[in-house]
Amino acid sequence: MRKVFDFHGGIHPPENKQQSLQTPIVKAGIPPLLVLPLSQHIGAPAVPAVAPGDRVLKGQLIGEARGFVSVPLHAPTSGTIEAVEERQIAHPSGHRAPCIVIRSDGLDEWIECRGIEDYTTLDKSDLLQRIRNAGIAGMGGAGFPSAVKLAVQPEKKISTLIINGTECEPYITADDALMRERAEQIVSGAMILRHLVEPEETLLGVEDNKPEAIATLLTAAQGTGLEVVSFPTKYPSGGEKQLIEILTGKQVPSGGLPADIGVVCQNMGSAAAIHDAVVLGRPLISRITTVTGDAIDQPQNFEVLLGTSMAYLLEKAGYRAERNNRLVMGGPMMGFTVPSPDVPVVKTTNCILAPSERELPTPPPAQACIRCGMCAEVCPASLLPQQMFWFAQGKEFDKLEQHNLFDCIECGACSYACPSNIPLVQYYRASKAEILQLRRDHEKSEHSRLRFEARQERLEREEREKAEKRAARKKAAEAKAKQGTANGEAEEDPIQAAIERAKAKKAAQQSAADAQGGSEGEREKLEKAVVSTRKRLDTAIAKLEQAQAEGSDLVEALQTGVDKTRLKLETAETALAALQNSSDSTTAESTSSTDAAQLAIEKAMAARAAEADLSPAEKARADLEKLEQRLEKSRAKLAQSRDAGDEEKIIEALEATVERLAGKVEQARQQLQQAESA
Amino acid sequence: MVELLAQYPLVAALIALVGLAAVFGALLGFAAIRFRTEGNPIVEQINDILPQTQCGQCGHPGCKPYAEAIAGGEAINKCPPGGEAGIQALADLLDLEVIPLDDEHGEEDPRPAVAFIREDECIGCTKCIQACPVDAILGAAKQMHTVIASECTGCDLCVEPCPVDCIDMLREEESLQNWHWHLPDPVSRNVDIIATDAAPEATSRDRAA
């Protein structure tokens, strides 16, 4: 007899297993409609591989695995795909999820299945692929893809393979029934697993409250080298970490995996499914489900096609809805209330519990924690549930993590033991979810921060590049100017050079005028201009006539051209005439009148002089008028550019201008008032 | 020398103290140069707590500037996306009183939002692209734009510049993917957990019977 160990805590709730073990496993038959959720496992949901209207055969692939942690989905019977749509599923949230709906044709026609006679000849990765392709996910309740669990890294030496037949939760007998009736399948599956994992020992762990199952397993396992180990009944010895401790005495480290200490665990149901997949080549399309509770007339185990509605099963077992206070999927400790009996059976549905109010009464209201410490005594993970309860209430998440909240297996032993009826597990579940949410949020905010900083950097870089370009252009212009002046004079400043040039020109003009005793040069120029303009006018008129003769579209344009040229000619002629008149008068006058710049300066001076003559009030009024005009103009410009949808920068600049002008107008107005009052 | 010191203990004490001061002064001076920290570490810590939505609701152009302002003594209750939890975390970090969120800067919305462009109405003006602080909007001039939902922080900044008002802020609805257990309502009797349902004495008596 092998030495078995014990784990901390645990409880002994009433088992209530006998009710459903009175009859052998019954085939539930083919329901008219099967609803198969695409996500019946942990990981990415499967992707539909069929479309409504397709005919499918039993065992045909209807959903493909997406990603590594995912499993495919197969048609449980032959029929037609009725829809791929959202349906209500068995989930505590009551939300809907995408499902494939099959209308069965009753023929139950298998697709061609090819099993392997001798799996030892197969490559291990092929064998794993086969298990994965059969859609096998942990059938104990969590639904973790089996192939992922079995794909242990080669550097981790596995010493023990454990097949879990504990089924410690009250009421559930699906694995028990399976072991009693299909021990050969389980043993065969276990040997495939042993071949895959190559452990030093393979243990089939069963609680001692299932003597029949142990007996049949022992018979089936004779001569195979598999060891059937029984151990005292206690809840939750079926928890993976607890079972490992019971059988090996080793504890899985906090946050670690069983593979870290050289252990791999698989469920009995999964072992049987692996046998079907490898030896018979059949995918996972049905499972054993216990239907039990006080509201059931004949509690029993069904072999049920996945996707069968719970209502269909309940009817087969004699369901008395009026006695049932709620419908639970899973056991009384870790199960959850399903939103309606119409939800389908999935790969993880080990039990449908329909208890009466007397059997599972509505929980009494939670009372204050009295710090009795019972929860800490029963906790199989050696945590401090009452302490975590306070932290969960106060949302002190870092303290919860320090108290190893994530080692909680949510078995419900603490809630069961609590004399104040505090739903402790619910606090832990909620806190775990909250912490994970916070972690995700923090990850996201970190991501946004990086993106924000990258953007800032980019904007700065662009700004810098623009500035550099501007500087480069300026430099180039300067260099060019330098070159120009270097060719001519040794002047450095281009502006200075321009001034010099202008001065030189002016001086030359003046000297020419002086030399010729009047505006001889000017006159010559004007005469030339008159002659050339006349010539141009003649050609333009000729062109116009031609165009008129041809009836071209250009007539109008040519006409305006002619008019313009004529106007120019006239002005040139009058200028010439004026010059001829003025040339008789003093030369000084003529030179001053030809200098436009001088003229403007004189005009400005005259205006200033006129202004000086004005009273301060009048001056202020004039100022104000001018400013108002400018404000009007820039407002119009802003509106225009807004309508045109110009760049924001432009609009902003215009807005700033308008504001500035408005301020100035205000100032001017005040000045005016002051001036008037003065 | 020794005799002198023995004779005048005050001088000895003085020399010893001055010597110690010189040694530690030199040590501290060296450490100040050798182990100099670049930037203000508290700003980084504050910035780490801020939600990085870059929404500007606090009145600063981004979370980092607000973190700098907080380090400079500004109130910690101006960040609506961070909410009460953010204020709590900041108060813990800076050892300040927890104060309620300043309504002036907006209200906390527990459901995260994501901007959504009604694409057939978008005219491709690129104004939202320029407004987005995290480059989460994709598009080009005169081409339809779209929001990369996974990058959007829900900051709202793209809504206002849109000339045709085709951007909606969509609140995330609860679905199977983001559903999680909630803390039990202490008053309600509608508790979903099963374990507490068991009345151990009653059922064990049933079994015995």
3-state secondary structure of A303: strand
pLDDT value for A590:
45
- pTM for the complete prediction? 0.69
> How far is residue A652's CA from residue A633's CA, in Å, rounded to a whole number?
16
Q: Which residues in A247-272 are b (16+ Cβ under 10 Å) and which e?
A: bbebbbeeeeebbebbbbbbbbbbbb
| Chain B interface includes A650 (CB < 8 A) | no
- Spell out the residues 6+ positions from residue A292 whose beta carbon is closer than 8 angstroms to its own: A16, A19, A20, A171, A173, A299, A300, A351, A352, A353, A354
Residues A280-338: tens digit of each pLDDT:
999 999 999 999 999 999 999 999 999 999 999 999 999 988 888 889 999 888 888 88
pLDDT tens-place string over residues A645-668: 766 767 787 888 788 888 888 888
Q: Which of B79, B179, B181 to mutate to test the interface with A (most CBs of A within 10 A)?
A: B181
Share of chain A above pLDDT 70, in %: 90
**Which residue from A134, A199, A165, A161 is spatially nearest to A269, judged by alpha carbons?**
A165
Task: Decide if B197 and A332 are in contact by the 8 Å CB cutoff.
Answer: yes
Q: Does residue B199 or residue B194 have the better pLDDT?
A: B194
Closest CA to A633 of A597, A585, A665: A665
Q: Does B195 contact A334 at a Cβ distance shorter than 8 Å?
A: yes
- Restricting to A residues 354-373, those with a Cβ less than 8 Å away from any Cβ of B are 358-366
Task: Answer whether A363 sits within 8 Å of B153, measured CB to CB.
Answer: no
Residues A394-425, buried b or exposed e (16+ Cβ, 10 A)? Answer: ebebeebeebebebbbbbbbbbbbbebbbbbb
Q: What is the pLDDT of residue A588?
A: 46
**Is the Cβ–Cβ distance between A367 and A422 less than 8 Å?**
yes
**Residues A216-264 pLDDT 10s:** 999 999 888 899 999 999 999 999 999 999 999 999 998 888 888 999 9
Question: Which residue from B130, B179, B197 is facing A648, i.e. has the nearest CB?
Answer: B130
Give the gap in angstroms from C-alpha B127 to the nearest C-alpha of chain A.
Answer: 8
Q: Given this model, what pLDDT does residue A263 score?
A: 92
- CB proximity B53 to A under 8 Å: yes
- Give the residue on A whose Cα is nearest the Cα of B195: A333
Q: Which amino acid is at A668?
A: A
A463 CB near a chain B CB, below 8 Å? no
Architecture per CATH, domain B111-173, reads as 2-Layer Sandwich (3.30)
- Residue A163 CA to residue A280 CA, distance in Å, equals 21
Q: What is the reported pLDDT for B208?
A: 34
- Please name the member of A333, A447, A453 whose beta carbon is closest to the beta carbon of B195: A333
Strands A300-305 and A26-27: parallel
- A256 inside 8 A of chain B by CB: no
**Residue A512: per-residue pLDDT:** 61
**Cβ separation of A331 and B194 shorter than 8 Å?**
yes
- The pLDDT score that the predictor gives to residue B205 is 35
Cβ–Cβ below 8 Å for A415 and B184:
no
Any A CB within 8 A of B3 CB: no
Residues A40, A135: contact at Cβ < 8 Å? no
Chain A residues in contact with B153 (beta carbon < 8 A):
444, 448
The whole-angstrom separation of Cα A530 and Cα A572 is 6
Q: A18-353 adopts what CATH topology?
A: Rossmann fold (3.40.50)
Q: State the complex-level ipTM.
A: 0.76
Using CB atoms and an 8 Å cut-off, which of residues 163-222 of chain A contact chain B? none
What is the per-residue DSSP string for A648-668?
A: HHHHHHHHHHHHHHHHHHHHH
Per the structure block, which two tokens stand in for A224? 């195979």
pLDDT at position B3: 85
Per-residue pLDDT, A550: 72
DSSP B43-109: HHHHHHHS------TTSSSSHHHHHHHHHTT--S---TTTHHHHHHHHHHHHT-------GGG----
Considering A413-427, A534-548, A656-670, B38-52, the range whose residues carry the highest mean pLDDT is A413-427
Contact A491, A497 (CB under 8 A): yes
A411, A418, A432, A449: best mutation site toward chain B, by most B Cβ within 10 Å? A449
Percentage of chain A surpassing pLDDT 90?
45
Q: Which residue has the higher pLDDT, A301 or A671?
A: A301
Residues of B whose CB is below 8 A from A15? 207
**Lowest-confidence segment of A18-32, A76-90, A342-356, A513-527 by average pLDDT:** A513-527
Please tell me the predicted confidence (pLDDT) of residue B198. 39
Distance from CA of B9 to the nearest CA of A (A): 56
Residues 71 through 100 of chain A touching chain B, CB cutoff 8 Å = 91-93, 95-97
Rounded Cα distance between A274 and A284, Å, is 8
Choice among A63-67, A215-219, A362-366, B139-143 with the minimum mean pLDDT: A362-366
Contacts of B122 in chain A (CB under 8 A): none
Rounded Cα distance between A349 and A336, Å, is 11
Instruction: Check: CB of residue B105 under 8 Å from CB of residue B58.
Output: yes
Instruction: Check whether A514 has a pLDDT greater than 80.
Output: no
> Which of A461-465, A621-625, B73-77 is predicted most confidently?
A461-465
| CATH C-level class of B41-105 | mainly alpha
Minimal Cβ distance to B127: which of A416, A426, A648: A648
User: Does B185 reach chain A within 8 Å, measured CB to CB?
Assistant: no
- At A665, the amino acid letter reads V
A325: which chain B residues are within 8 Å (Cβ-Cβ)?
none
Confidence of residue A593 (pLDDT cuts 50, 70, 90): very low
More confident residue, A590 or A665: A665
pLDDT value at A172 more than 60: yes
Q: Quote the minimal CA–CA distance from B104 to chain A in Å.
A: 24
Mutate to test the interface with B, among A235, A356, A418, A445 (most CBs of B within 10 A): A445
pLDDT digits (tens, 9 = 90+) for B68-121: 999 988 889 888 888 888 898 899 889 988 888 888 888 877 777 889 999 888
Angle between helices A174-181 and A183-197 (to 10 degrees): 100
- pLDDT at residue B183, rounded to an integer: 79
Q: If pLDDT is split at 50, 70 and 90, which confidence band does A114 have?
A: confident
- Cβ pair B195:A413 closer than 8 A: yes
Distance CA A425, CA B82 (A): 28
> Amino acid identity of A40?
Q
Contacts 24+ apart (CB under 8 A), B27-33: none
Instruction: Answer yes or no: are the C-beta atoms of A110 and A129 closer than 8 Å.
Output: no
Which pLDDT belongs to residue A521?
63
> How far apart, in whole angstroms, are the C-alpha atoms of residue A672 and residue A367?
81
Reported as a pLDDT band with limits 50, 70 and 90, residue A558 is confident
Chain B within 8 Å of A239 (Cβ-Cβ)? no
What is the C-alpha separation between B14 and A525, in angstroms, rounded?
A: 101
Which range, of A326-330, A464-468, A488-492, B178-182, averages the lowest pLDDT? A488-492
Secondary structure of residue A315 in the 3-state scheme = helix
Cβ of B201 under 8 Å from any chain A Cβ?
no
Q: Tell me which chain A residues have a C-beta less than 8 angstroms from the C-beta of B183.
A: 392-393, 426-427, 430-431
pLDDT for residue B21 is more than 60: yes
Q: Do residues B94 and B69 touch, judged by C-beta distance below 8 A?
A: no
- Number of Cβ within a 10 Å radius of residue B62: 24
**Are A186 and A268 within 8 A, CB to CB?**
yes
Residues of A in contact with B192 (CB under 8 A): 92, 336-337, 426
User: How are beta strands A351-353 and A286-292 bridged, if at all?
Assistant: parallel
Q: Which of A93, A430, A447 sits opposite B183 (nearest CB)?
A: A430
pLDDT at residue A658, as a whole number: 83
Interface of A with B in 381-400 (CB under 8 A): 392-393, 395
Between helix A520-550 and helix A494-515 the angle, nearest 10°, is: 100
Q: Give the residue, B38 or B32, on which the prediction is more confident.
A: B32
Pairing relationship of beta strands A300-305 and A286-292 according to DSSP bridges: antiparallel
How far does A136 lie from chain B, in Å, by closest CA? Answer: 22
| Residue in the structure block whose two tokens are 């369901």 | A319
CA angle A58, A63, A68 (to 5 degrees): 130
Which of these ranges, A515-524, A532-541, B137-146, has the smallest mean pLDDT? Answer: A515-524
In this prediction, residue B196 has a pLDDT band, given cuts at 50, 70 and 90, of very low
pLDDT band for position A361 (cuts 50, 70, 90): confident
Percent of chain B with pLDDT over 70: 88
Collect all residues of chain A within an 8 Å Cβ-Cβ radius of residue B47: 449
Determine contact, residues A259/A218, Cβ cutoff 8 Å.
no
B186, B192, B202 ranked by CB distance to A337: nearest: B192
Out of A363, A421, A448, closest to residue B134 by CB: A448
**A244: closest CA among A201, A294, A279?**
A201
Q: How far is B24 from chain A (nearest CA, A)?
A: 39
Q: How many CB atoms lie within 10 A of CB B90?
A: 23
Mean confidence (pLDDT) of chain A: 85
Lowest mean pLDDT among A2-16, A194-208, B193-207: B193-207
pLDDT of residue A153: 74
Asked if residue A81 has pLDDT above 80, the reply is yes
Q: Which two tokens stand for residue A511?
A: 């000297």
What distances in angstroms separate CA A329 from CA A326, A426, B175, one per listed residue? Answer: 10, 17, 20
Cα-based distances in Å from A360 to A171, A324, A331, A355, A356? 12, 10, 11, 6, 6
- Does residue A196 contact residue A154 with C-beta atoms inside 8 Å? no
Give the residue from A327, A351, A426 with the most B CB atoms within 10 Å of its CB, the best one to mutate: A426
Q: Which amino acid is at A586?
A: T
Q: Phi and psi at residue B171, in whole multiples of 5°?
A: -80, 140
Contact (CB<8Å) A95/B184: no
Shortest Cα distance, chain A CAs vs residue B20, angstroms: 43
Backbone angles phi, psi at A368, to 5 degrees: -65, 150
In this prediction, residue A313 carries a pLDDT of 93
Q: Is the pLDDT of residue B201 over 80?
A: no
Q: Report the helix count and the strand count for chain A, using DSSP H and E.
A: 20, 17
* Residue A423 to residue B191, Cβ atoms within 8 A: yes
Task: Please report which confidence band the pLDDT of residue A192 belongs to, taking 50, 70 and 90 as the band edges.
Answer: very high
**Domain definitions of chain A by residue range:** 18-353, 380-481, 614-678
pLDDT tens for residues A406-452? 999 999 999 999 999 888 998 999 999 999 988 988 998 899 999 99
Mean pLDDT, residues B135-154: 90
Q: In whole angstroms, give the CA distance from residue A452 to residue B52.
A: 8
pLDDT digits (tens, 9 = 90+) for A36-67: 999 888 888 899 999 999 999 999 999 999 88
Q: How far apart are CA B138 and CA A605, in angstroms?
A: 59
N residues, chain A: 678
Report d(CA A521, CA A526) in Å as an integer: 9
Mutate to test the interface with A, among B47, B50, B52 (most CBs of A within 10 A): B52
Q: Are B157 and B132 in contact (CB under 8 A)?
A: yes
Confidence of residue B199 (pLDDT cuts 50, 70, 90): very low
Longest Cα pair distance anywhere in chain A, in angstroms?
A: 144
Q: Are B71 and B43 in contact (CB under 8 A)?
A: yes
Are B195 and A449 a contacting pair at CB < 8 A? Answer: no
Cβ contact B189–A334 (<8 Å):
no
The structure tokens 């907006």 sit at: B106
| pLDDT tens track for B158-189 | 998 999 999 998 887 777 777 888 877 665 55
- Alpha carbon of B156: minimum distance to chain A alpha carbons (Å): 14
Lowest mean pLDDT among A126-135, A222-231, A600-609: A600-609
Lowest model confidence (mean pLDDT) among A84-93, A94-103, A646-655: A646-655
For residue B195, give the amino acid letter. Answer: A
| Domain boundary assignment for chain B | 2-27, 41-105, 111-173
Q: What is the dihedral of CA B123, B128, B129, B131, to 10 degrees?
A: 160
Q: Taking residues A339-348, what's their average pLDDT?
A: 91
Which pLDDT does position B187 carry in this prediction? Answer: 57
CA distance A409 to chain B (A): 13
Task: Identify any residues that bridge with A328 across adjacent strands, giving them in sequence order.
Answer: A337, A353
> How far off is chain B from A87, nearest CA to CA, in Å?
12
